[in-house]
Structure 1
Amino acid sequence: MDWLTGEFEPFEVREPETQTIPFVFNSPHSGRHYPAQFLAASRLDALGIRRSEDHFVDELFADATHFGAPLLVAHFPRAYLDVNREPYELDPRMFEDPLPSYANIGSMRVAGGLGTVPRIVAENMEIYARRMPVADALARIETIYKPYHACLRRLIARTHARFGLSILIDCHSMPGNIKVAGTDARPDFIIGDRYGTSASAELSRAAIQFLEDMGFNAVRNKPYAGGFITEHYGRPVRGLHALQIEINRSLYVDEATLEKRPEFDLIAGVLSTFMRQMVEFAEAFSIEATLAAE
């Protein structure tokens, strides 16, 4: 059962009864519904193709709606389509026929095999057994990528109109072996704000402090500063803030089996506390911003 047959929606918005806080939560990489047609075209087995998922991140942030914020959740997998990219970052090596002239074939992400339609999962595991038609990639972009971003834009615009402020939290997970550049430190969380361009520094510092106060190693921007979503939707001078949070998935998932660890509920509780603290901070932050503007 999948969206290719019209039996399943590729994404959904989980809404509170009433939105009461200026936050939007987004989980673009936790999708785990793989169309049969896609699996048939892959050289990977059912476990290998899941290596790029942000496993269960939508569940970790499920309390967002209880706090009064919408949560946008992808059901399509990142291996199928990556909405945290420009719309047409495409690798010509993947396709039977030429790409359109407007495709971005030269980005670092394309070179690494991680374009809008990825060529690989995890560490250089090729997805496809053979080249695919360009029309297939363009169809994914038209029918899923563009509607997904249109939905996200509406949520952000609605939030900003209602509160005069919008804070997007883009929710991700990272492999357990990730280290901070030049050190042996393996962070538990990384907060990305595109080096201060996608969100207020006060928000970023608060997020780091809340996580550290709970006993976790939290760092800012390195090695993940945020992707297309954070960069594209963060306009702090206009009251549009975007933060990316990366969670070390070894905290809550067995990375060999991709099954939840016994600590899963503990980490979900940590993130619930984190969301509550961010909401409380944002209330004071919003008041200060209002006073400064008067």
Structure 2
Amino acid sequence: MAAFDGQSPAFEILEPRVWRAPIIFNSPHSGSVYPDSFLQTTRIDLEALRRSEDSFMDELIRGLVDRGFPVMQAHFPRCYIDVNREPYELDPRMFVGRLPSFANTRSMRVAGGLGTIPRVAADGQEIYRERISVDDAISRIEALYKPYHRALRKLVTRTFETFGTVIVVDCHSMPSVGLSRDEPRRPDVVIGDRYGTSCMALVSDIVEQTLIGRGYSVGRNRPYAGGFITEHYGNPAHGAHAVQVELNRAIYMDERRRERSERFSDVIDDFALLAEALAEVPWGDLGTMQAAAE
């Protein structure tokens, strides 16, 4: 794949020599390579931009490859382009020029400044000094968003064709405290399954039971029910399952200093345990039962 900033690949897929199970781990928001051309347009510094990252999530799951699980990870930052959105969730207030007629300009995510090309960083600060061109936005979508999803879709399809089923575990991290003071204390983990529509209940149940068994407090779908990836790749009626795992950053890092904490290696072990627990699911039998139910 061509380098997106002159030297770094936009994303990579790490595949095991021998697959353990039809389970793909994906980290779309841990990218930390910032193009100079992008930084020249921003009104906030790199430190503020990096608060949007799911810091170190790619490192937490990378070792799963040696255990037989493929891992996909983005290298571009989510504040540059967010692949966990529809391809054209765009805020017309951000751009110079006319957006395509098919652009989704009215979604809740666009209204909040967090469309495909985000208007604000994670802490709510405006990213850009001035409007950017529509051509710039379309270029990012064509060069990064679409290749990312083509590669993920190809991996999902190949996995399904090989095993007869597939599960995508979409791995994210969240700030320990929300922007609103009224928001209740966040749990250690939030499982997002689009309120039971992106995967069979058994998948979410196993994630929840495994992590509770490791001492985590676990919530479901609030405040994160899963984004475009969970919704788009999860089709349990046809044997495709997607679940989002949102990990509280205070568990594994110092959020202010953006440094790994003492528990970092423990969390790596916990992800390995989660992968093994999901791999034990009799996917072939469940697929047969699903087909029979239809």
Q: Name the TM-score, length of structure 2 as normaliser.
A: 0.94
TM-fit CA distance, 1:290: 3.0
Question: What CA distance in whole angstroms lies between the structure 2 residues aligned with 1:220 and 1:187?
Answer: 10
Please give the secondary structure, in 2, of the residue aligned with 1:34: coil
- Give the 3-state SS of the residue equivalent to 1:93 in structure 2: helix
Q: Is residue 250 of structure 2 the alignment partner of residue 256 of structure 1?
A: no
Q: How far 1:18 moved relative to its partner?
A: 2.8
CA offset at residue 6 of structure 1? 3.5
Partners of 2:48 and 2:5 in 1: CA distance: 24
Partner of 2:285: 287
Alpha-carbon distance, 1:222 to partner: 1.4
Structure 1 residue matching 2:53: 3-state secondary structure: coil
SS in structure 1 at match of 2:173: strand
Alignment of 1:215-230 (within 5 A): 215-230=215-230
Instruction: Check conservation: 2:5, 2:35, Cα contact below 8 A.
Output: no
SS in 1 for 2:96: coil
Whether the 8 Å contact between 2:164 and 2:287 is mirrored in structure 1 is: no
Distance in 2 between residues matched to 1:24 and 1:241, nearest whole Å: 10
Q: Would you say the 8 A contact 1:193–1:226 is kept in 2? A: yes
For 1:206 and 1:78, the matched residues in 2 are separated by 29
CA contact (8 A) 2:54 2:174 kept: yes
Deviates more, 1:13-22 or 1:125-134: 13-22
Pairing of 1:189-228 with structure 2 (within 5 A): 189-228=189-228
Paired residue secondary structure (1:3): coil
The letter of the residue matching 2:37 is Q
Identity of aligned residues (%): 49
User: What corresponds to 2:79 in structure 1?
Assistant: 79
Give the count of matched residue pairs.
290
Partner of 2:247 in structure 1? 247
- Match of residue 49 from structure 2: 49
* Stretch deviating more after TM superposition (216-225 or 149-158): 216-225
TM-score normalized with structure 1 length: 0.94
Whether contact under 8 Å (2:165, 2:283) holds in the other structure is no
- Confirm whether residue 31 of structure 1 aligns to residue 27 of structure 2: no
2:204–2:243 contact (8 Å) kept in structure 1: yes
How far off is 1:272 after superposition? 1.5
Shift of 1:252: 1.1
Map 1:271-286 to 2 at 5 A: 271-280=271-280, 282=281, 284-286=282-284
With over 3 angstroms needed to count, the CA separation of the structure-2 counterparts of 1:134 and 1:254, relative to structure 1, is same
Q: Return the alpha-carbon distance in structure 2 between the equivalents of residues 168 and 127 of structure 1.
A: 31
Runs of 4+ in 1 over 6 A off after TM superposition: none
Q: Do the aligned partners of residues 86 and 291 (structure 1) sit closer, same or farther apart at CA in structure 2, a change above 3 Å counting? A: closer
2:156 aligned partner? 156
1:178 Cα deviation from its structure 2 partner: 4.4
In structure 2, what is the Cα distance between the partners aligned to 1:55 and 1:249?
8
Q: Unaligned stretches of 5+ in structure 2?
A: none
Distance 1:67 1:287, change over 3 A: farther
- Structure 1 CA distance for aligned equivalents of residues 156 and 4 of structure 2: 28
Give 1:293 shift.
Answer: 4.6
Matched, 1:170 2:167: no
Tell me which residue corresponds to 2:40: 40
**CA shift for structure 1 position 232:** 0.6
**Whole-Å Cα distance in 1 between the matches of residues 109 and 255 of structure 2?**
24
Letter in 1 for 2:257: T
Shift of 1:45: 1.1
Do residues 139 (structure 1) and 145 (structure 2) align?
Answer: no
Deviations 1:195-224 (A, max 9, x none): 111000011111101111111101111111
Q: Which runs of 5+ in 1 are unaligned?
A: none
Residues 90, 117 of structure 1: 8 Å contact kept = yes
**Structure 1 residue 237 displacement after superposition:** 0.8
1:263 Cα deviation after fit: 1.7
